Amino acid sequence: MSKTVQIIDPQTGKQTDLPLREPTLGAPAIEIAKLPRELGYWTYDPGFGATASCQSDITYIDGDKGILLYRGYPIDQLAEKSNFMEVAYLLLYGDLPSQREFECFDREVRQHTMVHEAVRYFLEGFHYDAHPMAMLMGVVGSLAGFYHDSLDMFNPADRNLSAIRMIAKMPTIAALAYRRSIGWPAVYPKNSLDFSERLLDMMFSVPSEPYEINPVAAKALNLLFILHADHEQNASTSTVRLVGSTGANPYACVAAGIGALWGPAHGGANEAVLKMLDEIGHVDRVPEFIARAKDKDDPFRLMGFGHRVYKNYDPRAAIIRSMCHEVLNDLGIDDPMLDLAMELERIALEDEYFIERKLYPNVDFYSGIIYKALNIPVNMFTVMFTIARTAGWVAHWLEQHETPDARIGRPRQVYTGHDTRDYVPMDQR
Ligand code: ACO
């Protein structure tokens, strides 16, 4: 017999048995759908801190233990042994690919890296100093206009093609947006290169001289993309799913996800970390900024610190932290910003305020320093995150369309406005 939880309303004495939804890992969820009907209450959970919005087989996080699994595989193993294309396959289709499956998938992605020439002209329409996230959001939304022949969301082949296109084209669009912002000519994707190399080539090569891809940079990007590929029902993925629940096309869903990721409380934090480190400027000023972060009257927060789910340590941050030293070493870069970041981390981790609230460095604390070492401009940091997270977004979007009991996402509210009142004509107000 399936387990239930009994809820008794002490006001009315009414009671109801609510079914428990059992997970493979983690805490079960109380199914509350019949609560309003049976007891007459909504549930109130701003920020969805206690709400499971869906059932998913893709990613598991244990925030207390600092565990992150993609389809059951620990993130540290994937970071060490896999590559971004293989991880994308794993997220989309549920299992690690065989050699043949990998080759087919990788070939398919490579075949879809080009964008319509009109996309370049579309980008020309943006002001030269437009934020690349604005360009990315606009262009990705516009892709639906190029592929109306394959937007039948009831057709699995169309859905799969849309997912592949999105993963393949995102780096091309990102690089075009970057080059538009610095006035460089477009570079077409070279499909002989692998995913990270291709992106580096599209961003940094110039027609006037040969460009040699730095293997350290390609390896670092590959790792960052693996770590950022998915993170269960975070704000942007939940946005993709919410838009997806309306039956909207995948390009509209992902464009909305890009908008959510852009926010400084989410993916925009990597950009905010660098700006913050720039503002702090010197290790001597770290205590002043720590004090500001603790001051409730000051809106300043330590960017790259804290996480809604991880209350121990962000396992991605631990991997990035050691990679950060390795990359700077290999590239022969002595960045005082890294010393500053380490001092900030050291002081914060010893401070009662941060200990009490379980505030640890998150994935974005170190990623910005690596991007900076790779010559990626600060306003492209969240774009890099977007390229990686696209794999997770489309995996969730595909899963959502394969869920039989999927419904449109439509939360309720606790209304605190006026009671009913009569309209008063303007001359009598
Ligand atoms: N600096 C200082 N204080 C903080 C910070 C911080 N970075 N983060 C949380 N706190 C404090 C809050 O003021 C609050 O204190 P209180 O209990 O005295 O009121 C307490 O810690 C809990 O914070 P909440 O805001 O309730 O935590 P929530 O889970 O809602 O927020 C978030 C998580 C948004 C990540 C938050 O920690 C934050 O703003 N961090 C900085 C931005 C950042 O790095 N975002 C990236 C997240 S990772 C990602 O998206 C990939």
Q: For ligand 1, say whether the CB of 116 is within 6 Å of any of its atoms.
A: no
CA of 335 to the centre of ligand 1 (A): 27
pLDDT tens digits, one per residue of 13-23: 999 999 999 99
Banded pLDDT at 423 (limits 50, 70, 90) = very high
Q: For ligand 1, say whether the CB of 139 is within 6 Å of any of its atoms.
A: no
Protein residue closest via CA to atom 45 of ligand 1:
265
Q: What is the mean pLDDT of residues 85-96?
A: 98
Protein residue closest via CA to atom 26 of ligand 1:
308
CA of 354 to the centre of ligand 1 (A): 10
Protein residue closest via CA to atom 4 of ligand 1:
301
The angle subtended at Cα 55 by Cα 54 and Cα 59, nearest 5°, is 105
Banded pLDDT at 197 (limits 50, 70, 90) = very high
Q: Which atom belonging to ligand 1 lies closest to the Cα atom of 228?
A: 51
More confident residue, 123 or 313: 123
Q: For ligand 1, say whether the CB of 303 is within 6 Å of any of its atoms.
A: yes
User: In testing the pocket of ligand 1, which one of 362, 367, 386 has its CB within 8 Å of the most ligand atoms?
Assistant: 362
Residues marked as catalytic = 307, 364
pLDDT for the residue 345: 86
pLDDT tens digits, one per residue of 103-134: 999 999 999 999 999 999 999 999 988 999 99
pLDDT for the residue 310: 87
pLDDT for the residue 95: 98
Banded pLDDT at 322 (limits 50, 70, 90) = confident
pLDDT tens digits, one per residue of 348-406: 889 999 999 989 888 888 888 899 889 999 999 999 999 999 999 999 999 999 998 88
Q: For ligand 1, say whether the CB of 83 is within 6 Å of any of its atoms.
A: no
pLDDT-above-90 percentage for the chain: 78
Q: For ligand 1, say whether the CB of 144 is within 6 Å of any of its atoms.
A: no
Treating both helix axes as pointing N-terminal to C-terminal, what angle do 84-93 and 195-204 enclose, rounded to 10 degrees?
Answer: 120
Q: Which atom belonging to ligand 1 lies closest to the Cα atom of 231?
A: 51
Banded pLDDT at 268 (limits 50, 70, 90) = confident
pLDDT tens digits, one per residue of 168-181: 999 999 999 999 99
Protein residue closest via CA to atom 17 of ligand 1:
357
Banded pLDDT at 1 (limits 50, 70, 90) = low
pTM for this entry: 0.91
Q: For ligand 1, say whether the CB of 354 is within 6 Å of any of its atoms.
A: no
CA of 265 to the centre of ligand 1 (A): 8
Q: For ligand 1, say whether the CB of 363 is within 6 Å of any of its atoms.
A: yes
pLDDT for the residue 246: 96
pLDDT for the residue 421: 97
Protein residue closest via CA to atom 49 of ligand 1:
266
